[in-house]
Amino acid sequence: MNKQGFILIILILALGFFIWQIFLPAYGDVSLLRKERNAWQAKLEDTVKLRQKLGELDKKYSALGSEAEKMAAVVPRKEDLSGLLVQMEALSSQNGLILNSIAFSSPAKKQDAAAPSSSGGESVSAFAKNTVLDISLSGAENAFRNFLKAVESNLRLMDVSSVNFNVSASSEQTDFQVLINAYYRE
């Protein structure tokens, strides 16, 4: 073996040793960094999914906000007697009736215990209080039927508890006395 071959073998061995000492540990570090990068990518994907879920929950919450507004219209937080007066006046005039008088009162304890049941079987008074409206109206019977339908389809939660009428023989108008329970939240 000549001298050049021997030097060539030593250089190849030195190069192999240099690669083994320098590049292989760096390759191991790169492998560890790749594993860390993959772990961070998985965390990033989880974060993106969580952000999407957060967006969906935010939309649902916004929708619930509108539901809460609807609920506040159906069963307001206060008695809102002035609003009830305006509603009854509007319902009576829209249906061709004359609103003679309206009186507001709180229900008696016995009447509160006999409150109508909701679809769940629980008493409405379990989550709401009511105000009794004593309304005196005059008009035709068909107009009164339309008034009762309007009260039934009104946005505010109300129920008719009593109806009395007095038919006058001399005129076409009938006098109606209606007791209505209007509900509000406590």
What is the pLDDT of the chain when averaged over all its residues? 83
pLDDT band at 2; cut points 50, 70, 90: confident
CA distance to 30, 58, 154, 169, 174, per residue, from 149 (Å): 78, 38, 8, 26, 18
What tens digit of pLDDT does each residue of 162-183 get?
999 998 777 778 899 999 999 8
SS3 of the chain: CCHHHHHHHHHHHHHHHHHHHHHHHHHHHHHHHHHHHHHHHHHHHHHHHHHHHHHHHHHHHHHHHHHHHHHHHHCCCCCCHHHHHHHHHHHHHHCCCEEEEEEEECCCHHHHHCCCECCCCCEHHHCEEEEEEEEEEEECHHHHHHHHHHHHHCCCCEEEEEEEEEECCCCCCEEEEEEEEEEEEC
Residues 135, 170 contacting (CB under 8 angstroms): no
**What pLDDT score does 118 carry?**
43
**What pLDDT score does 61 carry?**
82
Residue 68's CB is within 10 A of a number of other CB atoms, namely 10
Count Cβ atoms within 10 A of the Cβ of residue 47 and give its class: 0-12 exposed, 13-18 middle, 19 or more buried. Answer: exposed
Between 122 and 153, name the one with better pLDDT: 153
**What pLDDT score does 126 carry?**
65
Does pLDDT of 130 surpass 60?
Answer: yes
pLDDT band at 114; cut points 50, 70, 90: very low
